[in-house]
């Protein structure tokens, strides 16, 4: 099913050869590049910013870039990411004082906008913004690091969000991030997800194409 998007998280790529890694994973069949931005404040790790996004675009990456902001505050960095070629920008509601304003800012910059929910963050933040979100991202690990295990209660949360999306009648993507592997992607899809971030599962293997094909096989 082509309506499922596979988004490798470059957090697990070899940063010393990032352009090549992104080319390889896209050539291996990935749909979207998942770009994890951490600030050592909202989450306990420090990664990459708009300059690296811009460098990937200049390198020739044309695939959508899905920027997952784990930073606080969020608003200041959004125009920079839009200029750097971000396609989707998602942020955590806890990191924004004015959630509606931040969503609108992302859209005004010409990007798709989304909210990200940590494992224990309640879904009520969606209540008055379903008309503004293009993507809802559920974290299935606590953010900050790759290679953690999928938290099983995420499946119930996915089913709940799937219902809300269906009620809204809008074509909102339901993305899941953390611990996604070949052996659990089917259950995650059955719970309602249609966009899958996978870092260590893909970059931890020598043959990216084989992993992505095995994931798609599970999604048939
Ligand atoms: C975690 C990041 C994830 C991470 C996923 O804070 O948001 O995107 O890279 O890595 P895996 O797939 O290894 O759990
Ligand atoms: Zn992420």
- pLDDT digit string, tens, across residues 57-85: 999 999 999 999 999 999 999 999 999 99
Would you say 42 and 72 are in contact if contact means Cβ atoms under 8 Å apart?
Answer: yes
- pLDDT digit string, tens, across residues 165-187: 999 999 999 999 999 999 999 99
State the Cα–Cα distance between residues 213 and 81, nearest whole angstrom.
Answer: 31
Q: How many of the other CB atoms lie within 10 Å of CB of 173?
A: 22
What phi-psi label fits residue 117: left (phi over 0), alpha (psi between -120 and 50 degrees) or beta?
beta
| pLDDT for 4 beyond 50 | yes
pLDDT band at 94; cut points 50, 70, 90: very high
Q: Delineate the domains of the chain, giving CATH numbers in brackets.
A: 5-219 (3.20.20.70)
Which residue among 35, 43, 148, 180 has the greatest number of ligand 1 atoms within 8 angstroms of its CB, and so is best to mutate? 148
Could you report the predicted ipTM of this complex, rounded to two decimals?
Answer: 0.98
Which residue among 32, 147, 199 has the greatest number of ligand 1 atoms within 8 angstroms of its CB, and so is best to mutate? 199
Closest ligand to the CA of 141? 1
pLDDT at 67: 99
pLDDT at 123: 98
pTM for the full predicted model: 0.98
């Amino acid at each position: 099913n082509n309506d499922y998007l596979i988004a490798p998280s470059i957090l697990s790529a070899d940063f010393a050869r990032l352009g090549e890694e992104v080319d390889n994973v896209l050539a291996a069949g990935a749909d979207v590049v998942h770009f994890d931005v951490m600030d050592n404040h909202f989450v306990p790790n420090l990664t990459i910013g708009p300059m690296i996004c811009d460098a990937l675009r200049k390198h020739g990456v044309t695939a959508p870039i899905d920027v997952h902001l784990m930073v606080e505050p969020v608003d200041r960095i959004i125009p920079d990411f839009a200029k750097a070629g971000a396609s989707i920008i998602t942020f955590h509601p806890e990191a924004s004082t004015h959630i509606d304003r931040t969503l609108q800012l992302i859209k005004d910059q010409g990007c798709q906008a989304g909210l990200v929910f940590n494992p224990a963050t309640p879904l009520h933040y969606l209540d008055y913004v379903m008309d503004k979100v293009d993507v809802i991202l559920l974290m299935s690990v606590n953010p900050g690091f790759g290679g953690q295990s999928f938290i099983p209660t995420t499946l119930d949360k996915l089913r709940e969000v799937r219902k809300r999306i269906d009620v809204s009648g809008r074509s909102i993507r339901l993305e899941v991030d953390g611990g996604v592997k070949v052996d659990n992607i089917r259950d995650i899809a059955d719970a309602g997800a249609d966009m899958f971030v996978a870092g260590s599962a893909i970059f931890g293997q020598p043959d990216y194409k084989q992993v992505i094909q095995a994931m798609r096989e599970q999604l048939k």
